């Protein structure tokens, strides 16, 4: 029954008067009497955190599962009041700590909405309530705490939820939180393995999250305590789009080895897991990078691992490796093409050789080596009938012109 004036058992429970409650129980007081909001004695005792009264009421037969018209039971009121000891008592008494209100809210929602940071931590860590759980209005505990301006509660929730937000790709929430908190600091408090925001984001593979972190100045190259980068985790969870973004936009190196003994590079990890698309991408970008920098050692490793350097070069630049090296004047690379299983005398689709490229781009030393050491024919013409000398003359590379004319005369051939 609902009363305008509180019944004695309700008033004593609200005040935490254990002696009066005990006396009223001995006199068979009605434990189901309710106030105007439908709250029973146990509800009011839990709301006030009056543990002695809660014990007396439970011992006297109070129903811990009884609810108000809004669906609130005693655990919700204990959480609303922020009383951890009461929550512990109710849990020990086999009350349903995961009970939902009519709108689908948990005790965690109520503790968060009322700003009880300690209760929030206990409900998550000890009672196992899910931080990401949303009620029927799609409100989470974090959202309710943020709406109410309870910053300490927000931070407490973030310390246990930040990884879920980053991995889950919650861009909307992240865009707001990144303006208020140091996400790396929150991640450090959540784990002791050196995981930072970029690692969790890579696990989830959401490129938009990665972009937000980069825009806000987070270290995209940070590594865990074992030396693993975000790229390792993007590979581990098969996120091709994230892999490509981390390499192309964040500049992460697929061949970088972690600091731990026996650790694998992201490329080696992709091979081990059989991620064909990721492996192909890594091989291409690594080969291109090595070609552009003239990193012979890296190219040797790639060839040893079965990468067709020539095919990658043609796919990226439209020319064989010999032509590419001649164009840029990578003399060391030219000298080692045979070791790299590349044909120095390869002729392209338009009838062009490496010598044509070296002459056209003014690479005198490459021209000399290709003729004197590699034995390329100075008189060879492309499909338009042009020789290497023709290109050098057209570009007015006087030293190359003089050298090629001398070599042409020596072989008794005339280039036009």
Confidence (pLDDT) at 409? 65
Q: What is the pLDDT of residues 209-228, one digit of tens each?
A: 999 999 999 999 999 999 99
Range from 65-74, 156-165, 280-289 carrying the lowest mean pLDDT: 156-165
pLDDT band at 2 (very low <50, low <70, confident <90, very high): very low
pLDDT at 294 over 60: yes
Q: What is the pLDDT of residues 110-143, one digit of tens each?
A: 999 999 999 999 999 899 998 888 999 999 999 9
Q: What is the pLDDT of residues 74-95, one digit of tens each?
A: 999 999 999 999 999 999 999 9
In a domain, 378, yes or no: yes
Tell me the residue range of the domain where 315 lies: 307-416
Confidence (pLDDT) at 210? 97
In a domain, 384, yes or no: yes
In a domain, 146, yes or no: no
Q: 90: which 2 tokens?
A: 């109710």
In a domain, 72, yes or no: no
Confidence (pLDDT) at 3? 40
pLDDT at 412 over 60: no
In a domain, 262, yes or no: no
> Of 92, 86, 93, which is closest to residue 111 (Cα–Cα)?
86
pLDDT at 43 over 60: yes
Alpha carbons 387 and 332: distance in angstroms, whole number: 24
Q: What is the pLDDT of residues 301-340, one digit of tens each?
A: 888 888 999 999 999 999 999 999 999 999 999 999 888 8
CATH code of the domain in which 393 resides: 1.25.40.20
In a domain, 97, yes or no: no
Confidence (pLDDT) at 190? 82
pLDDT band at 5 (very low <50, low <70, confident <90, very high): low
Alpha carbons 42 and 50: distance in angstroms, whole number: 10
In a domain, 184, yes or no: no
pLDDT at 175 over 70: yes
Confidence (pLDDT) at 301? 87
Query: What is the average per-residue pLDDT within 267-287?
Result: 94
In a domain, 71, yes or no: no
Taking the whole predicted model, whether its pTM rises above 0.75 is answered as: no
Q: How many domains does the chain have?
A: 1
Residue 316 near residue 288, CB atoms below 8 Å: yes
């Amino acid at each position: 029954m609902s009363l305008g004036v509180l019944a004695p058992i309700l008033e004593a429970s609200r005040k935490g008067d254990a002696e009066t409650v005990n006396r009223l129980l001995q006199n068979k007081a009605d434990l189901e009497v309710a106030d105007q909001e439908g709250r029973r004695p146990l509800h009011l005792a839990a709301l006030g955190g009056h543990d002695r009264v809660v014990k007396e009421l439970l011992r006297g037969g109070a129903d811990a599962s009884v609810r108000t018209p809004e669906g609130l039971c005693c655990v919700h009121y204990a959480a609303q009041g922020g009383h951890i000891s009461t929550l512990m008592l109710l849990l020990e008494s086999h009350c349903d700590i995961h009970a939902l209100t009519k709108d689908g809210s948990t005790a965690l929602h109520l503790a968060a909405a009322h700003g009880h940071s300690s209760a929030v931590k206990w409900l998550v860590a000890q009672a196992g309530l899910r931080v990401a759980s949303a009620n029927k209005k799609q409100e989470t505990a974090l959202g309710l705490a943020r709406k109410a301006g309870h910053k300490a509660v927000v931070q407490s929730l973030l310390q246990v939820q930040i990884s879920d937000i980053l991995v889950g790709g919650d861009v909307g929430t992240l865009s707001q939180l990144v303006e208020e908190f140091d996400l790396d600091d929150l991640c450090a408090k959540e784990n002791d393995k050196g995981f930072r925001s970029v690692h969790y984001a890579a696990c989830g593979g959401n490129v938009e999250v990665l972009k937000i972190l980069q825009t806000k100045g987070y270290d995209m190259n940070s590594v865990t305590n074992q030396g693993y980068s975000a790229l390792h985790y993007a590979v581990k969870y098969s996120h091709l789009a994230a892999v490509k973004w981390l390499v192309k936009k964040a500049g992460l190196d697929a061949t970088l080895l972690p600091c731990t003994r026996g650790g694998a590079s992201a490329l080696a990890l992709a091979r081990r897991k059989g991620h064909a698309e990721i492996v192909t991408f890594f091989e291409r970008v690594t080969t291109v990078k090595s070609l552009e920098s003239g990193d012979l050692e890296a190219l040797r490793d790639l060839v040893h691992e079965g990468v067709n350097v020539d095919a990658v070069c043609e796919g990226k630049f439209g020319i064989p490796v010999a032509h590419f090296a001649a164009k840029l004047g990578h003399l060391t690379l030219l000298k080692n093409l045979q070791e790299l299983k590349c044909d120095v005398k390869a002729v392209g689709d338009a009838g062009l050789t490496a010598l044509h490229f070296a002459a056209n781009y003014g690479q005198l030393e490459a021209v000399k080596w290709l003729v004197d050491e590699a034995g390329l024919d100075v008189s060879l013409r492309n499909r338009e009938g042009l020789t290497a000398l023709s290109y050098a003359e057209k570009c007015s590379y006087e030293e190359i012109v003089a050298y090629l004319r001398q070599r042409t005369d020596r072989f008794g051939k005339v280039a036009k």
